[in-house]
Structure 1
């Protein structure tokens, strides 16, 4: 059944998300309870709220690397806010003037910080202002220790209790991108062979431009997957390697998508060119349709390595190599035909050149895909 594949992928994603929510909730609970039990005995009046809030922030970071970097930023920002509160309280006391000075200094002194960092410095300073007026050193040391303790617990829980990995999401995003590109190439090839250039050219161009959204999503997922491997204990345990993030493959597919967009744009412009002698000849369109279909099959074979498109004994790599070889053979034939001047519709030579250049670059990108 044609819908079986997408339904299985959707069910798999929902199951993965549900399991992820359970793990996420368990880690949050562990971090909160562990921080509470550690900090309560020595926190002022037994109120370790700052430590728990910091631990929750760290354990909810999307990756272990992010939890460490966020912890560093959080500790620095809060300590800076506490020092600022102490200084202003000693000079001006807990007054409206002290609040104004804090707001101005947080903006002016740290222009290179992000808006969130400046806001955290200012908010921490304002909240701590009243306490610093009555117990300056205590109000500085206790929140700093709570922040450090909460950050340490949050990082430890995030790193040791099923630290997040995003390899499946990266895999899925890259395959979705490859599947979309392959489908569009096949549709363009089928449309050209069916003499449907004029009615479908702008639809192809719209679909090619819409690939940008999938490119952005795939790039974000690939970057997140790469980051999730940094300092991740699961990578050490399972000897994961960075190549599993599909970073190299994504770069190749991004190049392929650029050529696909160029082909779609050239076909759309030619379909509505008022100069009849610029229109592409049927001989070229038939051959170009074949190369687009072969290229689409090559990308689809990469997107669905387990799907049999040839004999059961043919590996995905062999199917991809065969599709590329067939396209390259046609490309050489067409280049020779154009060079000898035997191609019909010679007035459209500039259009032929543009389409052939994009096809050549697309094939080069696919060849790199086969290598990876």
Structure 2
């Protein structure tokens, strides 16, 4: 039996200096097609808003485009930030995706805003659907709405009303709960849903979240056993030196975010190398780098294999965050493609 975990991809659709949104999306769709050809298990798009370096604002739209360009890999969201949207709209979007690519759609759901407070307020101008305290109720609504049986609305005055996300469903997207806190782990356990810990954010709290999820899990008809995998930031290159260079743009972008500096498109490698960081930013970069998987294909594969074994998961979803050099094409992401190819080759040798 292979000792390597299955690999999946989390994509934020990064945008670099002088790159248009159209070019960034084209690069990500090409990456999705390559992941499909390489045998990756799933490909998820994140939801973030009003960020110059991130174009993944609408996971359902990007998922539809990726589904049309792939044939085997599972496609979905990592995740839809549910308080930003009506549960019925989310259910309808992913029921439509399931009809488009039957048996290949994942609906990952989270409760974080995915942006700053101003944008969050604009996104959540939809009344009670934006009530974060009702998040568990809305997750339950979606799981019912996307199924063939649909959901039933009970009126306070008496009577019921049947609601279906799509009129004649023959299948349903698989619902996953995402998070980086005890809350999300416990909610997923109580609902009997698969759970993903967002380890690529910071990695803090991983052990406790997994312990809570596994120990408190309540079996459901669809998922009699707890099911989980982890995310990780990863860059693989032919040499360790190149991998470290390609890590610089994303590391510096995260340092800007965490020191409250104005956000901007991702730098090229050359731009990132040209400017020294101040002490606080460098400390942040060093702390993040220690938790990332960066190196040659064999080095990163070995580290991912050990990571999966340590936490008892059979799948790792990598966020391939390799930056670009100035001469590389705008509508492609050679460093990210290279990461997937090298890891698929290294882990496939088991």
TM range (shorter): under 0.3
Q: Which has the higher strand share?
A: 2
TM-score (norm 1): 0.23
Q: Which has the higher helix share?
A: 1
Return the structure number with greater relative CO, CA threshold 8 A, min gap 6: 2
